[in-house]
Structure formats: C-alpha cells, structure tokens
C-alpha cells in the first residue's frame, strides 16, 4: 500500500467514525422534524418512514400556534435568558478580574471557594433558594426566574482563567493612561475577552433557554412560562398527546438557539486574536 | 520636565527583598539608563517610580513633591512597555487618543452613546484629533492610524507605543526594555531614534534595559543595578573605564572584561599567575582579581603571559581571540583591530598588557587603587629593601 493510499484510507475511516457520531447526535432532531411534518394518521401508523407521505408541517405549526401562545413563550425565553446572561457578565467580569489580576489577602482562598461552588448541583440549593424567593415575595415572576442565576461561579471561573492570560503590561498601561479599575474591566478586559464571553454566553443561554426544572418550580402563571414549559402544555392534554403539533412547537422553540449558534459559531471560532498585545 | 528623587527605597515581595535601599537623583531633562542583569530589580524600581507598585519603605519625590499614594495617572509620567501593551481592540488612532480622552473628557462625555450628546465633547474630540495627528506625523505613522495593532509589525507597534506616551506631554518618560522584542537591526535603528527623541523633547527619560550596549549608546548617565542595589552611577565612559566593583566591570562591556586571579603581596606589589606586576597598591595583603579589558590586551610573541588560541571570532571590522591559559577559569579574550592578522587556532601565543590597563578588585569585589610602584612609597616596603 502506498503512503498516499494509506493516508486516504485513514482519512476515510476518520470520516466514517465522525459521521456515525454525528448521526447518533442528529437522529432525535431528524425524527423531530420528520414527526412534525407528518399528519396524525401517519405518526401512529405501524410502518416507520422518515419522509412523510403527506407533508403536514404547516398544518402542525398552525395548530401549535393556535393552541398555545408560542410567541409569548419565546419572548419570555428571550427576556429571561438575556437578563440572566447580562447580569452574569455584570457580576462575573469584575469578580474574575479581581481574582485574576489584583493582589489582596485571601484571594487564593476565595478562588478555591469559587471552584468548590462549581461542584454543588443546582438541585441541592433549590429548596433554600425557593424559600428565600418566597420570603422576598417574588415567586411566580421574572425575578424568580432570573435572580438565582445572576452569580455564575462557572462564569467567574471561566473568565478568571481567560484573564490570567491577558498580559499584566496591558493593565499597567491602562492604569498609566488614567483608566480606573472598573474602567479597565469594561474598556480593556471585556473587549479582549470577547471569545471567552461568547463561549460563556453560549453555555449560559443554552442552559437557561432549555431549563425545565426551575421554571416549573417557581411559576404558576401561564403568561410567564418559558419555552420548555410550553412544550409540556401539548403533552398534558387530556385527549391524548398530539405529537405532530408538539414536535412542531419543539422545532419552533429550538430554532432561535440553532440560528443563534450558527451566527455565533464564526465569532466563537475566530474570536479576537490577541496578536496586538505581544 | 521633572526632577525625580529616590530616597532609601526598599521593596520586598513576600519577604524577598528586591530593592535594598536605592538612592538616586535624576536631573530634569536627563536621559538615565537603569541597567543590570535580569532579576536585579531595575524593572521593579521603574514600576515604583511609575506608581504601579507601592514601595515597602523609602520615598519617591517628583519635582520635590512626594509621590507616595499618588495614582499612576496623576503622576503624569508616561511608560513604554516591553510588550508595547497596545489595546488590541482599538485602532492606532484610538490607542494614541486614550490618555488624552481620559484626561480631557469627563466620565459623562466618555460614556458610550450619551457622550456624543454632551456639548463640550465635539470640540474636545477635535483638539484630540489634532494632537494625535501631530504625534503620528512626528513618528511617521500617519498612514497607520486606522489599523489595529494586530496588523502592525513590531517596529510599528513600538512607534505607536511611543506615540501614546508622548501625546500627553508627560513630565518624564519611563521605558521598560522597549527594544527587547525587536530584531537586532531594528533595535540599533530604534536606539538612534529614541536618543533623537530625547534631544527633541528635552524631557526626563528613564530607560530600563539589561542590554548594556543600549545603555552605553543612548544615555547621559547609566545606573548599574545588581542584586537590588545601585552599585555605580555615572557617565557611560566613566562606568566603563573606572568601575568601582568587579560586578560592574564584568557587566559593562562586551566581550566581558578578563579577570585573572591575583594576590597583593605584603610589599604592596600585585602578583598574578606567578608574575609580579609593575604596580603597587596601598591595599592590604590578600587575594585579589586583576581585570583587563579585551582591547587593552596586546598580542606579542614575547608577551608576559602565554597560552593557546582556542577560538576566534571575526566580526569583519575587528576580531576577538580567545586564549586558553593555565590558571584562569575562562579563556582570555583579546581584541585584534586587524582581522587579517589572526593567529591560527591551536597556536601558542604570547600576550601582555600595560600596567595602566589594570583594574584590580579585592576579595569582596571592591575596586582597589593601583599605581606605578615608584609613586607609592610605603614604609613597610622601605624596611624590606
């Protein structure tokens, strides 16, 4: 076997393995799209087929939008995720800057505590946080959805690790130029950390857009519900689950994430390279 | 324009003392270089002067006023960093404009969106634009103003960093090894430019470098720092020719000064490698080091000493001959002005030096006075004779 042929074979094997992996990941989505496009009769027919005989996506979407106020849920999702992300950045960046670049007594202990906090599962603190929100009287409101997530220890950790790589000279130059410490965070560190902030944003938005657990606990009012709860609506129907519109609604609520990711992907990969510093 | 005084300055990091009591007065408009091997504390000293690092004790006075507790920007000093430290997300124009905007615009005027609506902002921005363009012209970077630092070469970034420093017309400039990241040719070129800049601005320049050639060629005075202490301060020629400590003698000058082990005899004469030199000293009997610069070593077939040639360095205009010699740790280096007259490697060669070329240091490394023996009359010597 010539070296070229071996290279080709190896590259073929690599692609087959990757394609198989991608297929495993994509199958549920493909099935969702397929089911959303089928009329009720085909969904419950005994033969399995991916391509529907009668294309019923538009009908299913129409039923989905008629049955529940999907726009409202999407708007709720947008309000909640952007508020959470905005507040997380507002807290995480100054905290990460202090932990990465300022020298003060107990800094290492504080950072160890931050890392320790990552280990605590959110379910463990759910009841105390719920009781706290109850005492504050903010249950069943946007505040109940947003407030518990404003301090993201993961965000602080991620940004701190990134800030560590920013040269001290840049910060000293900013100090010489007369920029205050908070000014350094927003005018110097934030622009250089855009790739890290984007990465964190993807994690945060995906996690809170898809969160089912917390909104289910703190919400009663229908008009505040987030997209995952909306999907549950279709399931809870007494007349039996109507899978076509359910899948169509699921498509609608993941669409913003997919579109946002496709836009952020380039930014995510390109980032702002730090070549200007060194 | 500022006179900077440093008094009994000490700085310790986690118990390790980096600056051990530094005293230095820098005259208004002077170009002084802080030079020393890496880790000697010269950058720390610069950062203390800049206000980026608080001192453990001692005082920094700028124009007679104590700068303790004064924020870096309020000291009105400008600093050029080794890594240039340009803001990567801002254009060259904005990089240079940052210190002016911070100084001349209020917080409200600087705010995004709202700032544009403020009445004074437009006029202030116009003045800033003029200032930045004037500096860019001076440094010949006008065509680069719209670019980002990432799109510039090392030399161009260096100019932008200098531009950011001079645009605010500071009282003094602090340079922290600004040429270390440039290639050798550009470095020599930028040396001349920085020296020219100093002649033009006539402001105080404090220049930190580990490269003694940079310090020697650019500055009016050099301050040699070793191990957190200021060992010698003086004009480059004086420090080179008349070092007060063996560490200074060895640090300043390339190739390094030749150091021979020697002895001070009881009659005050100097002795090295079994030869008694035609020199005397009032210092006490004991071990000493006898040092001679490479250009003062003369190759001669019947020199005082002899050894074998182990290595040749021909630089074209001059050459260095390394002579392996019994009794010395490192080869003796001699400069030959005419590279066409080089001996062969492995050849045995004689060499010597004039008594005036000798700089002798005692066992502690301190300089000892030497002179021709006829001038030093010591009672003890008379008794022996």
Residues A45 and A175 in one domain: no
Please give, rounded to a whole number of angstroms, the shortest distance from the CA of A93 to a CA of chain B. Answer: 17
Residues A83 and A211 in one domain: yes
For residue B255, whether the previous peptide bond is cis, meaning omega lies within 30 degrees of 0, is yes
Residue-wise pLDDT tens digits, A70-118: 889 999 999 999 999 999 999 999 999 999 999 889 999 999 999 999 9
> What is the predicted pLDDT for the residue at B305?
83
Residue-wise pLDDT tens digits, A192-219: 888 888 888 888 988 999 998 999 999 8
Q: Distance between CA atoms of B236 and B37, rounded to whole angstroms?
A: 17
Choose between A59 and B378: higher pLDDT. A59
Mean pLDDT of A125-142: 92
Please give, rounded to a whole number of angstroms, the shortest distance from the CA of A277 to a CA of chain B. Answer: 5
- Enumerate residues 35 to 64 of chain B having a beta carbon within 8 A of any beta carbon in chain A: 47, 50, 52
Q: Is the pLDDT of residue A11 over 90?
A: yes
Residues A20 and A112 in one domain: no
Q: Which of A60, A79, A108 is the last residue of a domain?
A: A60
Residues B281 and B149 in one domain: no
Rg (CA), chain A: 24
pLDDT interval class at B379 (50, 70, 90):
very low
- Report if residue B246 sits inside a domain: no
Domain that holds residue B226: 4-241
Non-local CB neighbours of B229 within 8 Å, separated by 6+ positions: B20, B21, B22
* A169 contacts in chain B (CB < 8 Å): 81-85
Query: Closest Cα partner for B209 from B96, B80, B87, B85?
Result: B80
> What is the predicted pLDDT for the residue at A277?
40
Residues B161 and B260 in one domain: no
Residue-wise pLDDT tens digits, B284-295: 888 888 899 999
Please give, rounded to a whole number of angstroms, the shortest distance from the CA of B218 to a CA of chain A. Answer: 24
> What is the predicted pLDDT for the residue at A272?
41
Residue-wise pLDDT tens digits, B161-194: 999 999 988 999 999 998 888 888 888 888 898 9
Residues B17 and B108 in one domain: yes
Mean pLDDT of B232-243: 92
> What is the predicted pLDDT for the residue at B49?
93
Domain that holds residue A12: 3-60
Q: Determine the residue among B79, B88, B157, B173 to mutate to test chain A binding: the one whose Cβ has the most chain A Cβ atoms within 10 Å.
A: B88
Please give, rounded to a whole number of angstroms, the shortest distance from the CA of A146 to a CA of chain B. Answer: 26
- Report if residue B347 sits inside a domain: yes
CA triple B267-B269-B275, angle to 5 deg: 125
What does pLDDT average to over chain B? 87
Q: Check A275 against B150: CB less than 8 A apart.
A: yes
Residues A181 and A214 in one domain: yes
> What is the predicted pLDDT for the residue at B384?
38
pLDDT interval class at A271 (50, 70, 90):
very low
Q: Check A192 against B77: CB less than 8 A apart.
A: no
Closest residue on chain A to B77 (Cα)? A176
Mean pLDDT of A15-36: 92
Q: Distance between CA atoms of B327 and B261, rounded to whole angstroms?
A: 8
pLDDT interval class at A278 (50, 70, 90):
very low
Question: Helices (DSSP H) in A37-106: which residue ranges?
Answer: 40-43, 57-67, 70-101
ipTM: 0.82
**Domain CATH code at residue B304:** 2.40.50.100
Q: Distance between CA atoms of A33 and A41, rounded to whole angstroms?
A: 16
Instruction: Check: pTM over 0.90? Answer yes or no.
Output: no
> What is the predicted pLDDT for the residue at A182?
92
What does pLDDT average to over chain A? 86
> What is the predicted pLDDT for the residue at B383?
39
**Count of the separate structural domains present in chain B:** 2
Residue-wise pLDDT tens digits, B201-218: 999 999 999 988 888 889
Residues B216 and B83 in one domain: yes
**Count of the separate structural domains present in chain A:** 2
Within 10 angstroms of residue B29's Cβ, the number of other Cβ atoms is 16
Residues B300 and B335 in one domain: yes
Residues A84 and A214 in one domain: yes
Q: Is the pLDDT of residue B112 over 60?
A: yes
Choose between B336 and A242: higher pLDDT. B336
């Amino acid at each position: 076997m010539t070296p070229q042929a071996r290279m080709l074979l190896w590259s073929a094997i690599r692609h087959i393995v990757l394609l198989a992996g991608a297929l495993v990941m994509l199958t549920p989505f493909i099935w969702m799209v397929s089911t959303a496009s089928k009329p009720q009769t085909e969904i419950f027919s005994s033969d399995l087929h991916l391509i529907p005989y009668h294309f019923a996506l538009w009908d299913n979407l129409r039923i989905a939008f008629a049955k529940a106020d999907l726009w409202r849920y999407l708007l709720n999702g947008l309000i909640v995720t952007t508020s959470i992300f905005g507040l997380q950045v507002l807290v995480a960046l100054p905290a990460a800057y202090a932990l990465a670049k300022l020298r003060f007594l107990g800094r290492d202990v504080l950072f160890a505590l931050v890392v320790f906090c990552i280990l605590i599962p959110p379910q463990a603190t759910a009841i105390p946080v719920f009781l706290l929100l109850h005492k504050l009287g903010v249950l069943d409101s946007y505040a109940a959805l947003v407030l518990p997530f404003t301090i993201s220890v993961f965000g602080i950790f991620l940004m701190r690790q990134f800030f560590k790589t920013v040269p001290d000279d840049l910060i000293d130059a900013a100090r010489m130029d007369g920029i205050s410490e908070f000014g350094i965070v927003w005018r110097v560190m934030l622009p250089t950390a855009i790739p890290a902030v984007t990465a964190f944003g993807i994690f945060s938005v995906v996690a809170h857009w898809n969160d089912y657990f917390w909104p289910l606990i703190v919400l009663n009012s229908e008009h505040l519900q987030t997209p995952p709860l909306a999907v549950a609506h279709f399931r809870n129907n007494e007349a039996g689950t109507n899978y076509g519109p359910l899948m169509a609604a699921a498509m609608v609520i993941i669409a913003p994430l997919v579109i946002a990711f496709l836009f952020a992907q380039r930014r995510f990969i390109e980032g702002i390279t730090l070549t200007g510093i060194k | 324009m500022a006179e900077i005084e440093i008094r009994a300055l000490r700085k310790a990091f986690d118990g390790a003392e980096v600056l051990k009591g530094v005293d230095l007065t820098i005259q208004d408009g002077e170009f002084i270089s802080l030079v020393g091997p890496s880790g000697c504390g010269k950058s720390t000293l610069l950062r203390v002067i800049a206000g980026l690092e608080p001192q453990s004790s001692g005082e920094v006075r700028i124009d007679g006023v104590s700068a303790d507790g004064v924020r870096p920007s309020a000291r009105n000093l400008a600093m050029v960093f080794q890594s240039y430290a340009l803001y990567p997300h801002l254009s060259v124009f904005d990089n240079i404009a940052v210190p002016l905007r911070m100084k001349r615009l209020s917080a409200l005027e600087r705010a995004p969106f709202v700032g544009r609506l403020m009445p004074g902002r437009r006029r202030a921005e116009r003045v800033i634009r003029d200032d930045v363009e004037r500096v860019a012209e001076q440094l010949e970077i006008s065509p680069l103003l719209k670019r980002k630092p990432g799109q510039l070469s090392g030399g161009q970034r260096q100019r932008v960093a200098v531009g950011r420093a001079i645009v605010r017309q500071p009282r003094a400039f602090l340079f922290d090894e600004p040429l270390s990241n440039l290639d050798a040719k550009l470095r020599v070129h930028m040396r001349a430019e920085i020296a020219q800049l100093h002649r033009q601005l006539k402001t105080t320049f404090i220049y930190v470098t580990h490269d003694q050639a940079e310090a020697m060629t650019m500055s009016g005075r050099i301050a040699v720092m070793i191990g957190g202490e200021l060992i010698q301060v003086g004009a480059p020629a004086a420090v080179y020719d008349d070092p007060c400590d063996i560490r200074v003698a060895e640090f300043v000058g390339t190739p390094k000064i030749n150091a021979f082990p020697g002895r001070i005899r009881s009659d005050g004469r100097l002795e090295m490698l079994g030869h008694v030199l035609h020199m005397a000293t009032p210092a006490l009997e004991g071990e000493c080091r006898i040092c001679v610069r490479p250009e003062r070593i003369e190759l001669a077939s019947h020199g005082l000493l002899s050894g074998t040639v182990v290595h040749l360095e021909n630089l074209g205009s001059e050459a260095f001959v390394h002579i392996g010699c019994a009794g010395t740790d490192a080869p003796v280096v001699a400069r030959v002005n005419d590279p066409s007259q080089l001996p062969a490697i492995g050849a045995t060669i004689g060499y010597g030096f004039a008594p005036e070329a000798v700089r002798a240091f005692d066992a502690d490394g301190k300089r000892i006075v030497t002179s021709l023996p006829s001038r030093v009359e010591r009672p003890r010597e008379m008794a022996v004779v």
